[in-house]
A and B are shown apart, each in its own frame.
Chain A
Amino acid sequence: MSFDDYKGAPMSAHTIHVERGAASRFAAAVTDTNPVYHDLRAAREAGFDGIPVPPTWTFASPFLGAWAEDQPADPTGGKGNPMMSIMSDLMKSGGIVLHGEQEFVYHQPVQSGDVLTSFGRINDIYTKESGGKVMTFVVMETVFKNENGEPVVTEIFNLIHRR
């Protein structure tokens, strides 16, 4: 497959339960002691109904809140995340994989009790040469929606293979 064939390819879909304990532990792990993440009374004073999640939480959320029994159908039809095949093909000739850039667009707050659905796809793949190195950029987008089908967070994840 050429790179162009992968553009727009679905990668993953999840149903994600936003659990208070996972949100609080994640906040603590990024050194965030803001009571809004640890005390429901403080969260309510700050305008939330539940414990909100820190800004980068959704990036980890498929590992934290995707319960096996209520996951959507695999959008790759069992072929697996195409990013993995792209990177393993590139790694056959050596090199390293780097997390180049990460972006979050926040549409609505996410808080404990929410059930999100996420859908990820490959937006773009391109190659650049710089300083004698070949860099392949894989740009992925994941949209998280709430139970009303409204987007809450959009993530753009840029991985680089450098050789």
Chain B
Amino acid sequence: MARPVFKLKADGIDVGSEAPVVSHKLGRTDLVKYAGASGDFNPMHSDEVAAKSAGLPSVFGHGMFSMGLLGRAITDWAGVGNLLNYRVRFTKQTWPEETLSTKIVVTSKEKTAQGNVISADVSLVNQNGEVKLAGSARVLAA
């Protein structure tokens, strides 16, 4: 295959630049869709009756759904196939009806043997600013 098309140009990016925000209101349908598409059928994510009998207020979101949503914002920005590294720490659970928003802030830009590499702090926060995921990503730019 040819190499994936670059979406970012290193010249137009500075430390502190932010990627477009992706916001998504989490619904129970998202949990069911993610369960089906990923094969993760932990009942705490898809069975409200089981979640309540385990003492939870409701089902809660898969951490890997959140990581996928934030990953979507990264690839929307940098282009699919340009990601070198993506890591997160799961800090809080997500709950239905929360609005989750991505935040991607450039922390460095360097020329390497692989090409122009942009590093960013990445996070996912709810409508009250509570951080659900926090981590970093490195992407390639033209």
Interface 0/1 of B46-87, CB less than 8 Å to A:
000000000000000001110111011011100111011111
* Residue among A29, A32, A101 making CB contact with B88, cutoff 8 Å: A101
The residues in A between 1 and 54 inclusive whose CB is less than 8 angstroms from any CB of B are 22, 25-26, 28-32, 34, 36-37, 45-49, 52, 54
B4 in contact (CB, < 8 A): yes
Q: Which residues of A contact B72 (CB under 8 A)?
A: 30-32, 34, 54
Q: Which residues of A contact B67 (CB under 8 A)?
A: 56, 102
Q: Which residues of B contact A54 (CB under 8 A)?
A: 68, 71-72, 75, 80
Show 19 residue pairs from A and B whose CB-CB distance is below 8 angstroms, ordered by the A residue: A26-B68, A29-B33, A31-B24, A36-B80, A46-B80, A52-B80, A52-B81, A54-B68, A55-B83, A55-B86, A59-B38, A60-B38, A63-B39, A100-B89, A101-B90, A101-B135, A102-B87, A106-B83, A106-B86
Q: A34-B72, A54-B75, A56-B64 known; 6 other A-B pairs, CB under 8 Å?
A: A29-B65, A31-B24, A56-B86, A103-B86, A103-B87, A104-B87
Where the two chains meet, the residues of A that have a C-beta atom closer than 8 Å to any C-beta of B are 22, 25-26, 28-32, 34, 36-37, 45-49, 52, 54-56, 59-60, 63-64, 98-106, 109, 111, 156
